[in-house]
Amino acid sequence: MSEAFSSEAEKASRRENATMKGSPAAVFWLTGPPASGKTTLARALAARLGGLGLAVAILDGDDLRRGPCRDLGFSEADRLENMRRAAEAALTLSDCGVIAILALVSPLAEGRRLARARLAGRPFFEIHLDAPLEIRRARDPKGLYAQAARGEIHGLTGYDAPYEPPEAPELRLDSAALGLAESVEAALNLCAPLSAARPPAGSRRNPA
């Protein structure tokens, strides 16, 4: 099989998968420093979208670090590779008609730019979550800020390592000021046109 034919066949297969699933195949990329509320929002958003009858999967940064990215450290190169692998996983889900919700720090603007480019042609929503440092330190569900303050860990994003905020995300949320329900509604509003365009369950399109 020629390379060109293989490429076209792969594209056709992806389009067919998405059509068969009947899902918008959107990608929500939740980015922000640790304890900014990414995982909490991802779970709540997934529950709401699932309640609409849509296929949804969460790609959480901690899970990725324990699984396909367990060989990576926290150098700039490794952070970029972590984001690249996350984008590839989201691509596969999206092409199978499954909405992908990524919740990972993804601190580097270049990595997020490359991820957006890789996922071009799909509904892509970058959501930037943030909260003041004192709020994040008070939350600290994994104890990372406490460990960093004691000098036990170094290079914690948003503490002693930089986080590069998105310049133009589709949505910016201050998780210290907004409640979870409000944040979920704001995220859902991004894909409202997609949900409205989705045919009712069991319906069929008219033949061309």
In a domain, 97, yes or no: yes
Q: Residues with Cβ < 8 Å from 172, sequence gap 6 or more? A: 127, 128, 130, 166
Q: How far is it, in rounded angstroms, from Cα 83 to Cα 30?
A: 12
The CATH number covering residue 80 comes to 3.40.50.300
In a domain, 201, yes or no: no
pLDDT in tens, the chain (208 residues): 444 434 544 554 454 444 444 544 899 999 999 999 999 999 999 999 999 999 999 999 999 999 999 999 999 999 999 999 999 999 999 999 999 999 999 999 999 999 999 999 999 999 999 999 999 999 988 889 899 889 998 888 988 889 999 999 999 999 999 999 999 999 999 987 555 444 444 443 333 3
Catalytic annotation on 106? yes
Residue 83 φ then ψ, to 5°? -70, -35
In a domain, 120, yes or no: yes
* Contact between 33 and 158 (Cβ < 8 Å): yes
Q: What is the pTM of this model?
A: 0.81
In a domain, 208, yes or no: no
In a domain, 173, yes or no: yes
Please identify which of the residues 23, 94, 106, 183 carries the catalytic annotation. Answer: 106
Query: What percent of the chain stands above pLDDT 70?
Result: 81
In a domain, 1, yes or no: no
Residue ranges making up the domain that contains 46: 17-192
Length of the chain equals: 208
* CA R_g for the chain: 18
Q: How many domains does the chain have?
A: 1
Give 117-162 pLDDT, tens digit per residue: 999 999 999 999 999 999 999 998 888 989 988 999 888 898 888 9
